[in-house]
Amino acid sequence: MSQLSDTTQRTILFLIADTGAGHRSAANAISNAIRLISQREQEEWNAQKPVAVHASSATPQRSPVSTAEKELPPPTYRIEIVDVFEEYSRFPLREAVKLYGPTIRYNPKLFGEVFHRSNREGTVMAMTSLATPLIFNGLLKLFTTIQPDVVVSIHPIINFVTIRALKQLGLQIPFITVVTDLISVHFSWFAPGADAYIVPTEQAKQLYLKRKLDPERVHMLGMPIDPKYTREVASKEDLRKKFGLAQDLPVVLLVGGGDGAGGLHAAVRAISQARLPVQLLVVTGRNKKLYAQLQRTRSRLHVSAHIFGFVNNMPELMHASDVIITKAGPGTICEALACDLPIILSGYVPGQEEGNIDYVVHNDVGVLALDSRTLTDELRRLIKPGSPELRRRLANARKLSRPASSFAIGEEILSFLPERGQPGVWQRQDGQPVHYRMSGRIQSAIRIRRLHSHLPKTIAKSSVIRRFSKTQDISSEMPEQTKRLSRRNIKDRI
């Protein structure tokens, strides 16, 4: 029975960083799609099992001797989503990654300069060399603890070092990169050595091909958005009643992304000063300062406004609205397209989101409005009864939208798992666990780190413990002789 459970559960590990909300949202979207796929597989398997009716009972009972009964059930999926920088990297890398949110909020031009200057091979390789010693051991600990059957990266910075760490283990663990930038795809997304690269647009695919990487490994499947955007929701009238909105006024949804950036406050002020006949739904994300500021000034606005912080019911908010004003975040753009919303871009993150503007404007699903006059003029055109701009952009949005993309991405990831009935990457044919293909020094380092995390602080901080932990630490570049000895040892054990 234990061997059966070993071969029917597959572990999928998503690597993210909570820089903004986009990476976790993408991981959650794919995870939810995989859970629905698993549910469908289980229902189909149950439906295929033959039923025999015994004479002694009118209740159908499953035949214990049928061939179909002997078939293995579909696998179950254990899904782990891990912020690798927060949980498994060391100072100063862990703290440096946290600067993303404040930088795009208070100094976006600086972030744009960093993006463009780092978007080349030499800089990426130099940054990887600097970051590797600060996260390599943590990745080894993560992989040996979770024991994934497939690893999926949804963040560009982690890809090069992850491939190196997986090679260090010596196990054939598939590694998949899911790109979450529509057009402006950074060099670090396409680290050579991944088993598959999933991209959202044709432009992203062409950037991949320019890198001279294997064309068979790139798959254009769309941007992962949550499956809840494909489900039916209540009518617009019912949703407006739920949120306390008037039925006779257009609803404008303003979203600033997970960090509440993108000129959100300026857009609200411009609409208020123009006294447009609209009502507002404003989502400030994790920007608590902006949320408090808008709450204080809401009573002085010349339009009705409902202010929200970070929300989990975005599909309802979008379906209750007529227009969305947002920064050029790729996730929000694709979610808006799935909800038939024309888009007004009020801001963007330089470098990273510049290409998203072209995506929206070139496909005629929205416009860029960086100043108050442009924004209010465009909004007037869209809310005008019988607006031709509104009809045209809604039609284009339906052509461009790929609401089921997460299911396609989920299916692609599942295709890399061991076949039904076969042992996982970390099990042998007899069901016994495989010894980690690491030297005794690596295993000792991991054990010491685990022990160190459970020690009382007064002991853990002692000079003796710190010195002992340091001597057991491993470098990211083990000597080749050590690797050969490690592989020879594992062959002898297996």
**For residue 428, is it within any domain?**
no
- How far is C-alpha 70 from the geometric centre of its chain's CA atoms? 38
Over the stretch 100-150, which tens digit does the pLDDT of each residue have? 878 877 888 998 999 999 999 999 999 999 999 999 999 999 999 999 999
pLDDT digits (tens, 9 = 90+) for 297-334: 999 999 999 999 988 899 999 999 999 999 899 999 99
From residue 46, give the alpha-carbon distance in Å to each of 29, 50, 264: 26, 9, 50
Cβ–Cβ under 8 Å, residues 252 and 274: no
279 DSSP β-pair partners? 251, 304
Average pLDDT over residues 28-40: 96
Q: Is residue 424 part of a domain?
A: no
Residues 83 and 159 in one domain: yes
Q: Is the pLDDT of residue 393 over 50?
A: yes
- 245 with 122, same domain: the answer is no
Asked whether the beta carbons of 266 and 370 are under 8 A apart, the reply is no
What is the value of pTM for the model shown? 0.81
Point out the least confidently predicted range of 34-38, 61-65, 141-145, 239-243: 61-65
Q: Say if 185 falls within a structural domain.
A: yes
Would you say residue 6 has pLDDT above 90?
A: no
Q: What is the pLDDT of residues 480-494, one digit of tens each?
A: 433 433 333 333 333
Domain-located, residue 178: yes
Whole-number pLDDT of residue 175: 98
The 10s digit of each residue's pLDDT in 416-437 is 999 888 888 887 544 556 555 4
| Least confident among 15-24, 178-187, 252-261 | 252-261
What percentage of residues in the chain have a pLDDT greater than 90?
63
Do 50 and 199 share a domain, yes or no? yes
Average pLDDT over residues 171-186: 95
The answer to whether position 488 is within a domain reads yes
Give me the pLDDT at residue 58, please.
45
- 11-25, 50-64, 381-395, 451-465: range with highest mean pLDDT: 381-395
Q: Are residues 187 and 267 in the same domain?
A: no
- Same domain flag for 262 and 348: yes
Residues 274 and 221 in one domain: no
Same domain, 242 and 318: yes
pLDDT of residue 487: 39
pLDDT in tens, 244-292: 999 999 999 999 765 555 578 889 999 999 999 999 999 998 888 889 9
Q: Are residues 187 and 335 in the same domain?
A: no
Average pLDDT over residues 461-475: 45
Supply the pLDDT for residue 103: 83
Which of 137-141, 171-175, 352-356, 434-438 is the least confident region? 434-438
Which contacts (CB < 8 Å, 24+ apart) does range 367-374 have? Answer: 367/343, 368/328, 369/325, 369/344, 369/345, 370/263, 370/346, 372/266, 372/269, 372/270, 372/273, 372/274
Distances (CA, A) of 90 to 94, 335, 445: 6, 35, 15
Residue 425 included in any domain: no
Tell me: do 211 and 243 sit in the same domain: no
How far is the CA of 393 from the CAs of 249, 335, 336, 363, in angstroms? 20, 15, 12, 9
pLDDT average, residue stretch 55-59: 45
- Domain's final residue, options 350, 380, 414: 414
- Do 213 and 185 lie in one domain? The reply is yes
Question: Could you give the 3-state DSSP secondary structure of residue 309?
Answer: coil
Provide the percentage of residues in the chain whose pLDDT is more than 70.
Answer: 79
Whether residue 423 lies inside any domain: the answer is: no
Query: Worst-scoring range by mean pLDDT, 14-18, 82-86, 107-111, 183-187?
Result: 107-111
Per-residue pLDDT at 443 exceeds 70: no
Domain end position, chosen among 414, 448, 475 = 414
CATH number at residue 303: 3.40.50.2000
**Which residue, of 340, 372, 402, is where some domain finishes?**
402
Range in 50-64, 98-112, 135-149, 449-463 the model is least confident about: 50-64
120 & 178 share domain: yes
For residue 109, count CB atoms less than 10 angstroms from its CB and return exposed for 0-12, middle for 13-18, buried for 19 or more.
exposed
DSSP state letter for 427 = B
pLDDT at residue 3 greater than cutoff 90:
no
pLDDT category at 407 given cuts 50, 70, 90 is very high
Q: What's the pLDDT band for 97 if we cut at 50, 70, 90?
A: confident
Q: How many domains does the chain contain in total?
A: 3
Closest CA to 320 of 347, 301, 340: 340
Same domain, 241 and 341: yes
Q: Which two tokens stand for residue 304?
A: 């009705």
Question: What rounded mean pLDDT belongs to the chain?
Answer: 83
Q: Write out the H or E segment, with its range, that includes residue 389.
A: helix 388-400
Residue ranges making up the domain that contains 448? 440-493
Categorize the per-residue pLDDT at 21 as very low, low, confident or very high, splitting at 50, 70 and 90.
low
Domain assignment present for 89: yes
